[in-house]
Chains A and B, each alone.
Chain A
Amino acid sequence: DSGVTQTPKHLITATGQRVTLRCSPRSGDLSVYWYQQSLDQGLQFLIQYYNGEERAKGNILERFSAQQFPDLHSELNLSSLELGDSALYFCASSVTSRGMRGGYTFGSGTRLTVV
C-alpha cells in the first residue's frame, strides 16, 4: 500500500457519459498529480494541484477537469466520454509542489473502459 488511494479501481461506462475518479493523497502530501496511461503510451501528465490550487496543466482535454478539496483529496472529472478515453488513470502525490526529489508516490490507478 503506497498510501495514495484511488477509487474506483475499475470503471466501465458508455460513450457520452461522465465519470468522476477520486484520489486521496498520502498523509502529509499537499500536491496531487493526475496522469493518463493509454495503450502503448507512457504516462501522460494531465494536471497538478497543490494545496487546493491548480499548479500545472499538461495534455488535458477540455472535456476533463479536476479539483482538489480542502481535505486535499482530488477528483478528476471526465465528460462526454469517447472510446479513446479508455485508459489507466493514475494519481500521484508529493509533499510540496517542488518536493519530488524522491519521486512521486503513485496510487494503483483506475482502469476506465468506455464502451
Chain B
Amino acid sequence: DQQVKQNSPSLSVQEGRISILNCDYTNSMFDYFLWYKKYPAEGPTFLISISSIKDKNEDGRFTVFLNKSAKHLSLHIVPSQPGDSAVYFCAATPRANRDDKIIFGKGTRLHILP
C-alpha cells in the first residue's frame, strides 16, 4: 500500500522554465511533508518541508504547495537550472507519536534540458 504516491517517474523541463513535481498521499494522519533531492551515488538530501497547518512554504527557487482537501502537494522550482537534474522524493510523516518514521514516495527523476 503506497501511502505517498509520485505518479510521474520522470519529467523533462527546459532550463529557465518552471519545474512542477507532484505528489499525492492517502493517509489523513500525515501532518508534515518533505521533499528530498538525490543525486546518483549520493544519499537523499533534505530540500524543503511544509507543515499541515500551512498551504505554502518558499525557500529561494523552491516552493512547496499543500492542498489538504485533495491530499496533494507539489514542488515548484523556478527557474530550473542544470544542477536541479536529480531524483526528487516526496515524503510525509504521521501526526505526533512515538513512531516518527518518514514515508517516502518512489521518486520523480527530473531532467533539465539545455
Binding site for B on A (CB under 8 A): 2, 4, 33, 35, 40-45, 48, 55-56, 58, 90, 92, 97-98, 100-109
Contact = CB atoms under 8 A, between A and B. Distances in A.
Contact of A55 (B45, B91, B99): B99
A43 B2 CA distance: 11
Contacts, number: 67
Tell me the dominant secondary structure on chain B's binding face. Answer: loop
Nearest to A58: B101
B101 A42 contact: no
A70 B57 CA distance: 38
A58 B99 CA distance: 10
A106 B102 CA distance: 12
Given A98-B96, A101-B32, A90 B44 contact: yes
A106 B32 contact: no
